[in-house]
Amino acid sequence: MNLDLITPILPANEAAVASAARCLAEGGLVAFPTETVYGLGADAANPVAIARLYQAKGRPSFNPLIAHVGDLQAGMRIARFDATATALAEAFWPGPLTLVLPKTRDCLVADLATAGLDTVAVRVPAHPVARAILRAFGGPVVAPSANLSGHVSPTTAQHVHSDLVGRIDLIVDGGAVAVGVESTIVGCFDAPMLLRPGGLPRDEIERVLSRALVQPPQDADNDGGQPLAPGMLASHYAPRTPVRLNAERIEAGEALLAFGPGIVAGVDTSNAVMNLSARGDLNEAAANLFGYLRALDNRKARAIAVMPVPHHGLGEAINDRLRRAAMGRD
């Protein structure tokens, strides 16, 4: 990847907000303060920008991202709010609460940002700089914490700079942030579930709901014997069609998920072919991954055969998600 970006730090003012919005619209990566921690923002509707974002953070897997919006109305364009979700949004937004909700039919958040799930995490941040950037940009912005994967979340622009200099396009400096821990995440499922404790205390949420938040199941998606990471609910995206990895040839009636310029034997009798990146570009492949899996899943093929994907760069995260897709549904 390009590690030679300039990465200016601009003091938060009108000009910086305008630059940030322009940069996001061009597919750039912008770090900005929220009231919890600094976020690394990208246009939620631009899968290529989101692939760059994962790469800049050095994440070994595509964890789903939080879509930041300016207000509840903007949230309702991407997610379906039931009575519980509406009550929580009205009580705590803007603020350090993220809601995981079903996507709307015309949700424009890219599949890569939600890791192919049918749900999307939404939050309205309270920080005036975050709000100004969202207003100027005019669409949802996905933003994980603006640190390298495995490092602690940044609470100052200097923290962001020391982790991400050269890897992102702009840092907007709004000073030290107030809360210092990430937002609380609540999954609005049949019973509202505390997916990650955070800046908004559980009892304040329970007071509004007049009920206790349920705990996530401890062993769902627990293939490695590890405890569930906070915030990571159970399900990963998996097609209904069986997925066969590292295919060297394809059988009649299978659909092919190809990678690179090579040709595999048996392609002429395939059900369908989609190439993640004919030129072998892993960022392009990441941007296409979940959308193509979904499209091939709709072909009702015997199986989806997947050509080998190299393991460097974003290849590690792509292979992680392909492996989960091949394990099937929970």
Q: Which residues bind ligand TXA (CB under 6 A)?
A: 34, 36-37, 39, 63-66, 98, 100, 114, 117, 119-121, 143-145, 182-183, 185, 195-196, 231-233
Q: Which does 232 bind (CB under 5 to 8 A by kind): ligand TXA, Mg ion, none?
A: ligand TXA
Toward ligand TXA, which CB reaches closer, 258 or 318? 318
By CB under 5 A, name the one of 46, 55, 119, 145 that touches Mg ion.
145
In whole angstroms, the minimum distance from the beta carbon of 57 to Mg ion comes to 9
CA distance 89 to 318: 34
Selection from 126, 132, 59 nearest residue 98 by Cα = 126
Residue 37 partner contact from Mg ion, ligand TXA, none using kind-dependent CB cut-offs of 5 to 8 Å: ligand TXA
Determine the size of the site formed for Mg ion (CB under 5 A).
Answer: 1
What phi and psi, each to the nearest 5 degrees, are found at residue 90?
Answer: -70, -30
Closest to 290 (Cα-Cα) out of 105, 111, 52: 111
Stretch that binds Mg ion, among 6-14, 141-149, 227-235, 242-250 (CB under 5 A): 141-149
Residue 134 host element (H or E): helix 128-137
| Minimum CB distance to Mg ion smaller for 183 or for 277 | 183
Q: How far is the CB of 289 from Mg ion (least distance, A)?
A: 21
Q: Taking Cα atoms as reference points, which of 231, 162, 126 lies closest to residue 7?
A: 162
- Least Å from the CB of residue 191 to Mg ion: 26
Residue 305 binds which one of ligand TXA, Mg ion, none, with CB within 5 to 8 A depending on kind?
A: none
**Min separation Cβ 317 and ligand TXA, Å:** 14
Least distance (Å) from ligand TXA to the CB of residue 32?
9
Q: Report the nearest approach of Mg ion to the CB of residue 153 (Å).
A: 5
For ligand TXA, the nearest residue by Cβ is: 231
What letter represents residue 156's amino acid? T
* Alpha-carbon torsion (189, 190, 193, 199), positive or negative: positive
Distances (CA, A) of 83 to 190, 208, 229: 11, 12, 28
Q: Are 33 and 143 in contact (CB under 8 A)?
A: no
Nearest CB to ligand TXA, comparing residues 134 and 285: 134
d(CA 313, CA 58): 8
Could you say which residues in the range 153-182 bind Mg ion, by CB under 5 A?
none
**DSSP assignment string, 41-77:** EEETT-HHHHHHHHHHHT-SS----EEE-SSHHHHHH
Q: Which residues bind Mg ion (CB under 5 A)?
A: 145
